[in-house]
Structure 1
Amino acid sequence: MRLLVTYAIGLIFGIGISVSGMINPAKVLNFFDIAGSWDPSLAFVMGGALAVTFLGYRLVLSRSAPVMGPEFQLPTKRDLDPKLIGGSALFGVGWGIAGFCPGGALPALGTGRFEVAIFVAALIAGILLARAIQSTMRRRNTDAPA
C-alpha cells in the first residue's frame, strides 16, 4: 500500500509539473529573463504551489501522526549556515543556466530529450560527488588529533 501511495504522489507531482510547463526549459529561462522575453506564468505556478503547501502542512500537521508512518519527521535545524546558502545559490544558478530543476527534470525524462538525460546524469554525478566530499571531510575530522 505504501508503494502505491508513493507512486500516486509522484504521478500527481509529475503531471502538475508537466501541465504547468516546468519541464520546458525555455519557459523557465524566459521567467528569469526580466529584460527580454519575460514570462511571469512561473510566478503563478510557484505561488499556487506555496498556497497548496501552506494549507497542506496546516491540515497534515493537525493530525497526531502521519497516515503512513509512526511519527512526523520534520527538520529541527532552523539556522542559515554556509552550506544552506551556498547550496541554494548553486541550485539557483544551475536552474537559471539549464532551465531545469530536479523536480522538473525527472518528469521531463519521459519526453525522451537528450538534454534532459544529460542534466539528470549530471545531477546524479553531483549528488555522488557531494556525498564523497562530505564523507572524506567527516573522516578527516574524526581522524584529526584532538
Structure 2
Amino acid sequence: MRRVIWTLSGALFGLGLWLSGMTEPGKVQGWFDLAGAWDPTLGFVFAGAMIPMLIAWRIAARMPRALTGGPLPAPPEKGIDARLGLGSALFGFGWALAGLCPGPAIASLGWSGLAGASFTAAMLVGMGLWHFLAARHSPALA
C-alpha cells in the first residue's frame, strides 16, 4: 500500500509541477526577472503550495504516526544559521540561472531533451559531491 501512496503522490506532484509551469525554465526565470519581463504568475503557485502545507503540518502535529503507519519525521529546526542562509542563497541563484530545481528537473526529464538531462546529471553529481565532501569534513553533515 505504501508504494501505491508514494507512486500516486509522486505522480500528483509531477502533474502539479507541469500544470503550474514550474518545469518550464523560461517561466521560472520570468519570475526572477524583476527588472525586465517579470512574470508574477508563479506567486500563485507558491501560495497554492504553502497554504495546503501549513494545514497539513497542523494536522500532522496532532497525529501519532503517518497514514502509512510509519513514524512521522521530526519537525525541522527553527534556527537560522550561516549554513542555512548560504545553502538557500546558492539554491536561489542556481534556480534563477537554470530555471529548474530538483523536483521540476526530474519531472521534465521526459520532454526536456539534452538540456534537461545534462542539468539533472550535473545536479546529481553536485549532490553526490556535497555528501562526499561533507562526510570527509564532518560525518554529522553527511
CA shift for structure 1 position 56 = 1.7
Shift of 1:67: 1.5
The residue that corresponds to 1:144 in the other structure is none
| Amino acid in structure 2 at the alignment position of 1:17 | L
User: What aligned pairs does 1:1-146 form with structure 2 within 5 A after superposition?
Assistant: 1-138=1-138
Equivalent residue pairs, number? 139
Counterpart-to-counterpart distance in 2, 1:127 and 1:86: 15
Structure 1 stretches (4+) deviating beyond 3 angstroms? Answer: none
Equivalent pairs: percent with the same residue? 37
- Where structure 1 has 5 or more consecutive residues not aligned to the other structure, the ranges are 140-146
CA RMSD of aligned residues (A): 1.4
Following superposition, the deviation at residue 58 of structure 1 comes to: 1.9
Query: 1 CA distance for matches of 2:17 and 2:124?
Result: 20
For 2:124, the aligned partner's letter is I
Cα gap change, 1:77 to 1:60, in 2 (>3 Å): closer
Q: What TM-score does the superposition give when structure 1 sets the normalisation length?
A: 0.89
Higher mean C-alpha deviation, range 87-96 or range 60-69: 60-69
Change (3 A) 1:129 1:36: same
The higher radius of gyration belongs to 1
Structure 2: tracts of 5 or more residues without a match: none
Question: Post-superposition shift, 1:112?
Answer: 4.0
